[in-house]
Amino acid sequence: MGRTIFHVDLDAFFVAVERSLDPSLNGRPVIVGGLGPRGVVSTASYEARKYGVHSAMPMAVARRLCPHAVYIRGSHERYRTVSRQFMAILRDYSPAVEPVSVDEAYIDMTGSERLYGPPEQSARLIKERVSADTGVTASIGIGPNRLIAKVASGESKPDGLLLITDDTATAFLAPLPVRKLPGIGPRAAEALGRLGIETLGQLAGTPAGPLRRALGPRQAESLLRRAAGVDNSPVEARTEAKSISAETTFDHDSSDRAHLSGIILELSQRVGAKLRKSGKHAASVTLKLRYSDFSTVTRQTTLHGGPVNGDTAISEAAMRLFEAALRQRHAPVRLIGVGVSGLTEEAGQLSMLNESAPNDTAVSMAMDTIRDRFGPASIRRGRQA
């Protein structure tokens, strides 16, 4: 038997939470995000999306497009509380739950028919439970793998349910625009457009050679597999890691401030990459210093702007701890470590309530992509160049 994978996605999550608290917002265009001059849209209601407003858009642009909307700064704590409820509900139906962000997760429901009935029936049970317990609606895509389930949930929004089987997957994917495939951004779509490729069916039937020349071998091969609906990745039920860290021991002790600062930046980027890969954000940053006499100090700071996953936020906090340590003792160092803790299951949406976090996260993720493709030394931030 094949797998049965659900992708469960809460609809316009932040807006839905605000509406559950204030029903007068129902039916009105509502936009949640940072409201300052550098603010970014985190979530827009479907009424606001009709005017072209979307997540990650500068708030100033959103105000021009939809000046009559209700604008709300939002609350980290409110959304975290509902997110925890949501994830707990999903775990009542299967132990194999992989949170992707604060408002979406994959569930492996393979073999659950005896408990909850056929997939569509169990999906309806989950939808009803989420709505009753949180006041938020969910869209669920059901497929034989993660990829198809993800695309199906997107096509079922809002408040929908869509089942795609092995037999119907090719016909389902073929007419969809290439941007519907997770991982295809604007630039890749432009490159495909220059090859005359507009749909996933066209992409799946394209010879590999032109794609390799346009996108590079690795991305071309991945897109060909995924456009055909091939995805063997498992749903990984994540254990709750308490922290993520990286450290390095020097061949020779160093008291060179510039050198040590560069190492802290490099370690921060390594930690940030691990953090983003885990789908987590961190509330605290820790710096560890071991001196030439083997004495060790550990300093920690809590990030007052809320949990982050961008390299700059981590490195700046680590550098503040380093400067404080230098004021206490300036001696040769043999080991440096950077770590993060206070990990939470939340994604960029919550960070968008912070005026500076979105750019940090976006740049860091772009650098992750480049390093994955061209190697760890392929791109560096300015202080490392």
Residues marked as catalytic: 104
Compute the C-alpha angle 375/205/225, nearest 5°.
40
Q: Which two tokens stand for residue 116?
A: 């909850």
Q: Which two tokens stand for residue 140?
A: 């669920």
Q: Which two tokens stand for residue 129?
A: 């439970």
| Nearest one of 105, 109, 147, 151 to 130, comparing CA atoms | 105
The full DSSP string for 353-382 is: TSSSHHHHHHHHHHHHHHHHHH-TTS---G
Rounded to whole angstroms, the Cα distance separating 280 from 102 reads 9
Burial of 5 (0-12, 13-18, 19+ CB in 10 A): buried
Rounded to whole angstroms, the Cα distance separating 277 from 63 reads 33
Q: Which residues contact 321 (CB under 8 A, 6 or more apart)?
A: 285, 286, 287, 299, 300, 301
* Cis amide linkage into residue 158, ω under 30° from 0: yes
